[in-house]
Amino acid sequence: MNNIKEIKNEMLGERYYEIDHKSGLKIFVYPKENYASTYAIFGTKYGSIDTCFKLEGENEFTEVPEGIAHFLEHKLFESEELDAFARYAKTGASANAYTSFDKTCYLFQCSDNLEDSLEILLDFVQNPYFTEKTVQKEQGIIGQEINMYQDEPGWRSHFELLRALYHKHPVRIDIAGTVESISHITADLLYECYETFYNPANMALAVAGNVTVEQVLNMADKMIKPKECKKIERKFQIEPAEVVADKVEHKLSVAMPIFAIGFKEDIKTPERTLKESLESTLLLDIIAGKTSDLYEELLSEGLINTTFDAEFFEGYGYSAHLFNGESNDYDKVRERITAELRRVMNEGIDRETFDRIKKKHYGSFIMNFNDVDSLANSLVGEYFNGDGLFDQLSVLESITVEDVENRLRSAINLENSAMSVILPN
Amino acid sequence: MNKKFYKEIGAGVKLLCVNSEKFKTNCIHVDFYLPIGEFLAAQNVLSSLMGHTSKKYNSFKKFNAKVESLYGADFDSSIATVGEKVKMKFAIEVPDDRFSLDGESISESAVDFLVEILSNPNAENGAFDEENTAREIRFTLENLDAEKNDKRSYAISRLRQLMCQNEPYGIDREKLYNDVKNLDSKALFKAYENILKTATIVITACGTLKAEMLEEKFSAFAEKIQGREIASLDTIYVESADEIRYFTEKMDITQAKLVMGLRTGMKDADDNYFAYRVMTDVFGGGPYSRLFMNVREKLSLCYYCNSRLIRDKGIIFIQSGIENENYEKAKNEIFNQLEVMKKGEFTDEDFTSSITALCDAFKGVGDSPAAVCTFYGSQALDDCVIDGSEYAKLISQVTREQVTECAKKVTVDTVYLLTGEEKGNE
């Protein structure tokens, strides 16, 4: 039997349905009244960081080449007959897929023929077909994708920073791997990864927009193949608390130096709670957002431009507070950020600022509920993190200025940061 | 389902409001259209400056604190060209009034904010604030410089300049850079006054806000502008290229960028537009297109290879990222696929896939307030307002023969290669 639960939020006037499908698959259906389009996403909790794993009962861990999750994403679109794109071409849906550090997702958006497109999605993701020849063909295409990113300074500075922050954690490797690492990928290895991670129990389906629960369940009942559910064990090497390098520099064709600064959190447990994540987001907005003193000062002194921003970066086994921007005097920017963090650690956060930033995030939260794509993506993302879609609001409400101050003092160690700079060549 | 209100509320001031209850937000766009011309440098600076400070909110911090107080509004000011028109856009999106915590009408405050920053910029006695001007000129120069950071758009920008060097569309980036550098606070203010006086202004809004409220506030804004004299917005359509011109430039990069500019034969933005739209899509739109299926999937030469129609200029751009040594192969295959289009040798399946995908996409255009504002905004400029499903209907009426006829008129004008190293024989 499929167990259906209605999840409501009175303030927003919104609701969606969470379904435990009999196959073990978690399904979310989010009907949006008067919407013409629908967005569907079928994802597995399997990303670029899952490079060493075994199934329950197996003796040995399997280590696979870097970039294989992303490679698999490309290859799943192919089948012995029509590939998935050719099938979607008949329904008119706009389809795509992406791989991140911790998940791989297949998606489409459509206005017509929802059921046909949903059938295609559920079918091709569950039916892998690889041969050595098709694997080889993809190495050329993905090789070009990797090279494209090599020339993107923002991307490069981000990954070079991760390599300066992390010794062992696979977050330090590029999501698509390298031209060298993907040359070791074979059809057999792809099947092995597929069999491990593409199991309904490790996956989720979310459909938002012009859709009903019945439509999705009918299709899931017809299409989802039950599989024996085995527990996946992932192996991560122990990550030292310290950063790898204080500063790394690389050269590219850029107009002005591009920097990324990261403060590595010394974590005792692999995952941050939703509350900790939100505290960090508020904190960074207070310290370095567009209404912060730091931002205004750095701008007027000519040390940064409006590309400057900060983000909280976390996932299984890693957590860091990041600052990115362009500057000719990036060392000075780093000093000033560090000094400002120190000042706030000592003096605390101004309450008025805290209230304004909190109100801003209340508004931003509400604004996420317009777009079917962001709803479906968030449903899957939050589920893999162990949270519900509406949880953010109540957690946000519960956060106090003291919580954010404590988060600053516990999560940021001023002595443990790294900087990556992309210099003009 | 949606109620549309459309009215010219002053000379060259158009207001379009789409009412819908289904969204959580209200969205307002104000677009200023002028021909590409003498004020281009100033427009670049003003688009940044007026989105960062105003007389009332005279520091970056105060300005953004106001934006944050509007429940974390999404505010954006930007500049872009639409054919040979320059569009300066000021856009804001805020949570719907029903989410207000203290009874304030968030949407009305958002409109007041827009009117305030447009009417009262950070200037006095015919000049913008000096310090501010210097800072914004710095941002603009850094922004122009940073164009080379993104190799994909840099290649297109170079192509555009080389291909259209005798048309306003081929903006000379070096001249623009120097013009920005030479601006001062007075020249900037003069440009600001000129923009208000001569631009066609299009206001689009979507959500629950009332058209009457918008009309009242924006009419008052427009009435205050003295001596409105609307500049005409014409674009030169070059119908065909005599011969193909080839350019190669070098940069220290890993992946080469191959881009091409084609003349479509369109005489204006409405000349067979829907057929050209389908033709460009069959050629290089989605993953069902000729370019994707052949240059990427069959020959494995690239990760992306696509074409896009610039309706307002009658041009098609093709872009691809390739291995340097594959230049000839990729170029020849793109030419080859263009021939397939011209000879009408694309399959029925190619054709129907494209029609189906385009229709599907247009039907969904009403599901995001910002997309609604953008979609109707460009139409309101031309006084023709139709919705997504009517658009889809016009797409579905295009025939194979029309597509082939369009393709036959297409000529390759310029081929541009941005490469990391010496290229083989050409």
Number of other CB atoms surrounding residue A243 within 10 Å = 22
Whether residues B92 and B31 fall in one domain: yes
Residue B157 lies in a domain: yes
Q: Do B93 and A295 touch (CB under 8 A)?
A: no
Residue B237 within any structural domain of the chain? no
B23/A372 CB distance under 8 A: no
Q: Pick out chain B residues at pLDDT < 50.
A: 1, 423-426
Crossing angle for the helix pair A274-288 and A293-300, nearest 10 degrees? 40
Could you tell me if residue B202 is inside a domain?
yes
Which of A263, A202, A267 minimizes the C-alpha distance to A50? A202
Nearest to B321 by CA among A153, A179, A95, A149: A149
* Distance from the Cα of residue B170 to its chain's centroid: 15
B72:A361 CB<8 A: yes
Which of helix, strand or coil describes residue A222? helix
Same domain for B284 and B185? no
* DSSP 8-class letter at B20: -
Phi–psi pair at A97, nearest 5 degrees: -160, 160
| CB proximity under 8 Å: A 75-94 to B | 85-86, 88-94
Task: Report the CATH number at residue B33.
Answer: 3.30.830.10
B425 touches chain A (CB under 8 A): no
Residue B32 lies in a domain: yes
Q: pLDDT, tens digit, for every residue of A77-103? A: 998 888 999 999 999 999 999 999 999
Q: Are residues B257 and B388 in the same domain?
A: yes
**Percent of chain B at pLDDT above 90?**
93
What is the per-residue pLDDT for B424? 42
**Both tokens of residue B365?**
């255009």
pLDDT at A146: 92
Tell me how close the Cα of A296 comes to any Cα of chain B, in angstroms.
6
- Cβ atoms of A263 and A321 within 8 Å: the answer is yes
- Residue B22 inside a domain? The answer is yes
Does one domain contain both B30 and B147?
Answer: yes
Residues B213, B349: one domain? no
CB B93 within 8 A of CB B54: no
- What is the predicted ipTM? 0.93
Q: Is residue B112 part of a domain?
A: yes
Q: Which of A31, A43, A53, A118 is nearest to A73 (CA)?
A: A43
d(CA A158, CA B355): 40
Beta strands in B301-358 (DSSP E): 302-310, 315-322
Within a 10 A sphere around the Cβ of A250, how many other Cβ atoms?
Answer: 14
Check CB contact under 8 Å for B1 and A357.
Answer: no
Same domain for B193 and B97, yes or no, is yes
The strand pairing partners of B34, in sequence order, are B86
**What is the structure's pLDDT at A235?**
86
As a dihedral over the C-alpha atoms of residue B267, residue B271, residue B274, residue B275, rounded to 10 degrees, the angle is: -70
Residue B166 and residue B261 share a domain? no
Surface of A (110-149) touching B: CB under 8 A = 110-113, 137-138, 140-142, 144-145, 147-148
Amino acid B422: pLDDT: 56
Please tell me whether residues B214 and B330 are part of one structural domain: no
* Residue B160 within any structural domain of the chain: yes
- What long-range pairs does A242-246 form, CB within 8 A, spacing at least 24? A242/A416, A243/A164, A243/A165, A243/A416, A243/A417, A243/A418, A244/A163, A244/A164, A244/A165, A244/A166, A244/A167, A244/A418, A245/A164, A245/A418, A246/A164, A246/A417, A246/A418, A246/A419
Q: Which helix (H) or strand (E) holds A318?
A: strand A318-326
Domain that holds residue B312: 245-419
Q: Which residues of chain A have pLDDT under 70?
A: none
- Considering the domain boundaries, does residue B234 fall inside one? no
Contact between B306 and B337 (Cβ < 8 Å) = no
Distance in angstroms (rounded) separating the CA atoms of residues A101 and A406: 28
Contact between A176 and A185 (Cβ < 8 Å): no
Q: How far is CA A308 from CA A260, A305, B162, B191, in A?
A: 10, 6, 32, 29
Domains of chain A, CATH where assigned: 3-234 (3.30.830.10), 247-424 (3.30.830.10)
Note whether B57 and B167 are same-domain residues. yes
Q: Give pLDDT, residue A107.
A: 98
**B172 in the same domain as B302:** no
CA A284 to each of CA A264, A278, A313, B324, B404: distance values in angstroms, whole numbers, following the listed order: 14, 10, 11, 42, 55
B266 and B376 part of one domain: yes
CB contacts, 8 Å: B333 with chain A: none
If one counts the domains in chain B, the total is: 2
Tokens of B343: 């000879």
B131 interaction partners in chain A (CB closer than 8 Å): 300
Instruction: Determine, for residues B286 and A37 on separate chains, whether the beta-carbon distance falls below 8 Å.
Output: no
Position B426 scores a pLDDT of: 39
Which member of B72, B94, B148 has the closest CB to residue A255? B148
The domain boundary residue, chosen from B188, B223, B258 = B223
User: Chain B neighbours among A 326-385 (CB < 8 Å)?
Assistant: 326, 356-357, 359-364, 366-367, 369-372
Q: Does B299 share its domain with B357?
A: yes
